Amino acid sequence: MKIYSDDVFKCQYCGAPNKAITWDTETFRSCRSRIEKREFQHLNNSIAIEKDNDTYYKCPRCKKWSKGSQLVVVKARIEEVKHIKRDSIIEISNKL
Ligand SMILES: [Zn+2]
């Protein structure tokens, strides 16, 4: 599944919708070691949100950590949603 820059990720705890870049910034800021920084994966990389991947992301609002696959993806474009192994759901937005 391709992630576009206008796709939004919602936190599973507080439901706050934020763009991938905002999640990336918040998460990267919390990477303490050089190893963590090297292993960091951008959320707009589709691998980051697959079930088998165990990368965690920090919510820009409530600061809780979720696995990439647990974030709710709000897709701005319906044609790109294909079969993908996920823990959570994919929403389609037609107002973005
Ligand atoms: Zn949150």
Q: How far is the CA of 78 from the centre of ligand 1 (A)?
A: 25
Measuring CA to CA, which residue among 9, 6, 5, 4 is closest to residue 86? Answer: 9
Copy the structure tokens of residue 50. 């697959």
51-to-22, 24, 71, 94, 95 alpha-carbon distances in Å = 21, 18, 11, 26, 27
pLDDT tens, 50-62? 888 888 999 999 9
Q: How far is the CA of 11 from the centre of ligand 1 (A)?
A: 5
6 Cα to the center of ligand 1, angstroms: 19
pLDDT higher than 90, residue 87: no
Q: What is the pLDDT of residues 2-56, one digit of tens each?
A: 788 778 999 999 999 999 999 999 999 999 999 989 989 898 888 888 888 888 9
CA 87 – ligand 1 centroid, Å: 17
Task: Provide the whole-model pTM.
Answer: 0.78
Domain residues of the chain, as ranges? 8-95
pLDDT above 60: residue 80 = no
**Residue 21 alpha carbon to ligand 1 centre in Å:** 15
